[in-house]
Structure 1
């Protein structure tokens, strides 16, 4: 489903940041756009920055259900700073998976904005997740009986005979 991304530009609150940019809404079924101005109120401007496809995967239904169980179901918008002054942010992707959003947040280069999901979109995601979700049985890992405490790490190569520890201080040879 195509989702239009609405980004708001507001005046910065410090002298180091002239503008504050934030993803504030998604527009389900939007047409392609390239930073089209939607609304202006003084210095605050909202742009339809881009339209990205929201793709749902049958293997991610657990993540979608986790998102829908949240107090406010959300779409995660992944943004990256751009060198273009007219388009300071590039919209990389939109996802309904909080796990995928967390993966992008962990890299430190991308900005991940959590935007409230409209009710119609939440119903669409819920229907998809319920149709494709399969519960996975929990399988407890069993330990094998192998003894791992019998080897001494750091004693050097087992193929080379050593009188003592290889980390010993070398002896000084006297002429």
Structure 2
């Protein structure tokens, strides 16, 4: 019996749209708008221009699905619009305006990158084919985790608590109060 692969990978091209900014502080507005499943390699290749707005095939990144992350994929698929999460960094290297670092189908991983505040995380709607590909993988590898309720220990809670608070405080009313120096 052959063991199922614990991961699968597909190259995914990312389409990024550049428009003039609406404030004087942001000259350009960058937004990931679409993905190209199975795309070939590209580095900021211009696809279309409409006035000042330009669409680029910014990068082709590997979309890797892991068997251990199926719970995250199931959460993503149950969303109203299943999406991929693109992580971009503003690194000012050469002619590349933004560096595409990662693309993932895990909303948990996307949230982890968004929490740092150093990267730009864009949510891109999945195509129907990608939804089916992720769903098939998730259903094949998903194992529900059994919830085990923790049982309380039998320790009595009505007994006197030793070691609580500062022993230098004579008052029983406020054991968490800091001791004061006596002024003479």
Q: TM exceeds 0.5?
A: yes
8 Å CA contact retained: 2:166, 2:179: no
Relative to the length of structure 2, the TM-score reads 0.82
SS at match of 1:106: helix
Q: Which residue of 1 aligns with 2:26?
A: 17
Q: Which residue of 2 aligns with 1:150?
A: 161
Match of residue 57, structure 2, among 48, 53, 77: 48
| Pairing 1:1-80 to 2, within 5 Å after superposition | 1-80=10-89
CA deviations on 1:5-31 (whole Å, 9 max, x unpaired) are 111100111111110001111111111
Q: Which residue of 2 aligns with 1:107?
A: 116
| Pairing 1:122-137 to 2, within 5 Å after superposition | 122-137=131-146
The whole-number CA distance in structure 1 between the counterparts of 2:50 and 2:94 is 21
Q: Which residue of 2 aligns with 1:159?
A: none
Give the number of equivalent residue pairs: 168
- 1:168 partnered with 2:179: yes
The whole-number CA distance in structure 1 between the counterparts of 2:68 and 2:169 is 57
Q: Single out whichever of 162-171 and 75-84 deviates more from structure 2.
A: 162-171
Relative to the length of structure 1, the TM-score reads 0.86
The whole-number CA distance in structure 2 between the counterparts of 1:49 and 1:151 is 64
CA deviations on 1:74-118 (whole Å, 9 max, x unpaired) are 111111112237322111111101111111111111111110101
Unaligned 5+ runs, structure 1: 157-161
8 Å CA contact retained: 2:169, 2:179: no
The structural deviation recorded for 1:155 is: 1.4
SS at match of 2:64: coil
The whole-number CA distance in structure 2 between the counterparts of 1:3 and 1:146 is 56
The structural deviation recorded for 1:172 is: 5.3
Q: Which residue of 1 aligns with 2:125?
A: 116
The structural deviation recorded for 1:147 is: 5.6
**Residues 85 and 147 of structure 1: is their aligned pair in 2 closer, same or farther, counting only changes over 3 Å?**
farther
